[in-house]
Structure 1
Amino acid sequence: MPTSPTDIANLYNILGAGELSRLDTHPVELLVTLRTIREALPQAPQRIADVGGGPGKYAFALADQRHLVDLVDLSPGLIQIAQVEQDKRNAAGQKSLQSLAVGNALDPNILRHGIYDAVLLLGPLYHLVEESERVNAVANAVRLAKPKGVLFVAFVSISAHLRDIAMRDPSRLIAEKEFYAKYLQDGRYEKFKPGVGNVHSFHTQVSDIRSFFADNFADTLELMELRSQEGILGGSLDSALSKSQPQVAQAWADLMYEKYSTGEEHLGCADHLIAVLKKKDL
């Protein structure tokens, strides 16, 4: 059954400002991801499409680095939060986004085709439970990119959810035995949560990410690297760093990036995994 965009938008309308602050409490994920983007795009300004970028945490950080960023997200509530930040920056004469709008990663005409040096898909694939939808979202991102443009595509690891319930509610593994037997097979997490509504999310394994691109995009994309966005500090092990001095958090993020984010033995430690891909010049 196709994912309901209304349900996803409603979920993030409810989460609201909490989505903006989430990365503040997980600084390694934020800093490793920004470095991953910076290493792939060493020169600024580059034109970047941030598709499904929520309230713009990454988009504004990249604008601060002089990149030209267009932000699109499915949630009107999150775009409204981004607009408040945009207005503040414009009033202060600070660097801001080129544009921001409500839009769906599954819309082939979400932005202009073939003009972007980079396309970020750091959120949409978390919530597209059908593989055909994930293929569609990535194909749309490919259309936006220039030849040799770079795509950054993020996934949530199945390990992330298992660690979470082990810490918070371990009895669920038995109480919801049939649900978890299926979940471990297909990565689909679809539930109704009181006060939130229908939650659709998709979680995956490292090997399945590689297979996804090899099976569907061998002719159009080259997988440059697959990286753990938390290094070995998945499962909220980086949360204490949110209270540290910025240079301390940066030092840990640099260590994770350089030593603990691409080795096969470390990828399973991630809550989030980012694939860096280059569009082939056909």
Structure 2
Amino acid sequence: MTDTTRRQHPAVPEEILAYYARGAEDARLRDGGAPAGRLEFWRTQDVLRRLLPTAPARLLDVGGGSGVHAEWLVRDGYEVELVDPVPLHVEQASRLPGVKAQSGDARSLPADDRAYDVVLMLGPLYHLPERADRVRALTEAHRVVRPGGLVVAATINRFAQLHDLLREERYFVPLHRERTDTVLLDGRHPFHDDGFFTVAYFARPDEVPAEFTDAGLTVEGQYGVEGVAWLMGGVEDWLDDPERREAVLAASRHIESDPTLLGASGHLLTAGRR
């Protein structure tokens, strides 16, 4: 058993903590939020429900934010513990029935070896610009998941900001275009006082499996979350109509693992096992 008290938490950049301290992440993914956020939520839920073992199972939600996913996972019958470095997120998640939440960093988890059936990392990897840190976080997931257990990690795709700004017509602003084109070179998204996002890394889909492998995990699949639907006009009206929303989700399943389309999504889920 690991002595977690001796683990030191690496510093999380203040820009990242400040960005999420605004409290906007919770509303972004829930009903009433932006269409792309709601589609991300529903598609993430859709994919996870097909990948997760049958409840009950013990699940660690690393970087789980305010508990948006932990909430429905508990309702589905899972035993959920959440770790997040943002104090506001820990406070919000702690209020949810059945969710245990504590402060922690993905690169140094406050958890014992082989303690969980599933580890979810639906946010940490895209806030770790250095490859060594991403592998370290995945290695921690490998450590705390049981043999044969599932690890699912989310990444932001390299061209997500380019697609997003084109869709919203902000790419035509020279400053936004210059910053966006710079991110395309190496995936590194810096902090700007007047920026849209915070410190992040936008990955190519084919980068992630190698990082899983270096952490000792065997990749089983990759799933484009939003597909191409998030780029289409009318998506907001579609998602507000339950019947059309189900059609959009079904259409997205058809292309979710097509290697030629993985990079079209804003987010990518990669699943592997110890």
TM above 0.5:
yes
Residue 199 (structure 1) aligned with residue 207 (structure 2) = no
Can you give the 5+ residue segments of structure 2 that lack an aligned partner in the other structure? Answer: 1-9
Residue 7 (structure 1) aligned with residue 15 (structure 2) = yes
Question: Any idea what SS the aligned residue of 1:268 has?
Answer: helix
Quick one: which of 31, 56, 68 aligns to 1:57? 68
Q: Deviations over 1:110-147 (max 9, x none)?
A: 22221111000000011111111111111111111000
Asked whether the equivalents of residues 157 and 268 of structure 2 are also in contact (C-alpha less than 8 Å), the reply is yes
Question: Any idea what SS the aligned residue of 2:192 has?
Answer: strand
Residue 222 (structure 1) aligned with residue 228 (structure 2) = no
Can you give the 5+ residue segments of structure 1 that lack an aligned partner in the other structure? Answer: 90-95
Letter in 2 for 1:234: W
Aligned partner of 2:38 in structure 1 is 27
Question: Any idea what SS the aligned residue of 2:228 has?
Answer: coil
Aligned partner of 2:107 in structure 1 is 106
Aligned partner of 1:66 in structure 2 is 77
Q: Relative contact order (C-alpha < 8 Å, sep 6+): which is higher?
A: 1
Question: Residue 163 and residue 3 in structure 1: after superposition, are their counterparts in 2 closer, same or farther (change >3 A)?
Answer: farther
C-alpha distance in 2, partners of 1:3/1:160?
27
Question: Any idea what SS the aligned residue of 1:49 has?
Answer: strand
Q: Deviations over 1:58-112 (max 9, x none)?
A: 111110100000011111112222233x2xx4xxxxxx22x111211122x4222
The 5 A counterparts of 1:81-92 are 81-84=92-95, 86=96, 89=97
C-alpha distance in 2, partners of 1:127/1:269?
20
Letter in 2 for 1:206: P
User: Alpha-carbon deviation of 1:222?
Assistant: 1.1
Question: Any idea what SS the aligned residue of 1:193 has?
Answer: coil
Residue 188 (structure 1) aligned with residue 199 (structure 2) = no
The 5 A counterparts of 1:140-159 are 140-159=140-159
Letter in 2 for 1:11: Y
C-alpha distance in 1, partners of 2:84/2:12?
15
CA RMSD, Structure 1 to Structure 2 (Å): 2.4
Question: Residue 73 and residue 271 in structure 1: after superposition, are their counterparts in 2 closer, same or farther (change >3 A)?
Answer: same
Asked whether the equivalents of residues 233 and 269 of structure 1 are also in contact (C-alpha less than 8 Å), the reply is no
Aligned partner of 1:93 in structure 2 is none
Quick one: which of 262, 265, 277 aligns to 2:260? 265
User: Alpha-carbon deviation of 1:155?
Assistant: 0.4
C-alpha distance in 1, partners of 2:195/2:82?
28
Asked whether the equivalents of residues 58 and 80 of structure 2 are also in contact (C-alpha less than 8 Å), the reply is yes
Question: Residue 175 and residue 117 in structure 1: after superposition, are their counterparts in 2 closer, same or farther (change >3 A)?
Answer: closer
Asked whether the equivalents of residues 3 and 130 of structure 1 are also in contact (C-alpha less than 8 Å), the reply is no
31-40 or 2-11, which moves further after superposition? 2-11
Percent sequence identity is: 27
User: Alpha-carbon deviation of 1:183?
Assistant: 2.2
C-alpha distance in 1, partners of 2:238/2:139?
36
Question: Residue 46 and residue 190 in structure 1: after superposition, are their counterparts in 2 closer, same or farther (change >3 A)?
Answer: same
User: Alpha-carbon deviation of 1:49?
Assistant: 0.1
Question: Residue 48 and residue 175 in structure 1: after superposition, are their counterparts in 2 closer, same or farther (change >3 A)?
Answer: closer
Question: Residue 230 and residue 127 in structure 1: after superposition, are their counterparts in 2 closer, same or farther (change >3 A)?
Answer: same
Asked whether the equivalents of residues 127 and 200 of structure 2 are also in contact (C-alpha less than 8 Å), the reply is yes
Aligned partner of 1:137 in structure 2 is 137
Letter in 2 for 1:230: E
C-alpha distance in 2, partners of 1:69/1:236?
35
Q: Deviations over 1:195-218 (max 9, x none)?
A: 99x92111011222233334x23x
User: Alpha-carbon deviation of 1:255?
Assistant: 2.9
Letter in 1 for 2:93: A
- TM-score, normalisation: structure 2: 0.85
> Number of matched residues?
258
Letter in 1 for 2:266: D
Residue 244 (structure 1) aligned with residue 250 (structure 2) = no
- TM-score, normalisation: structure 1: 0.82
Letter in 1 for 2:261: H
Asked whether the equivalents of residues 3 and 200 of structure 1 are also in contact (C-alpha less than 8 Å), the reply is no
Q: Deviations over 1:8-66 (max 9, x none)?
A: 2221001x0x2112123433322222232222224110100000010111111110100
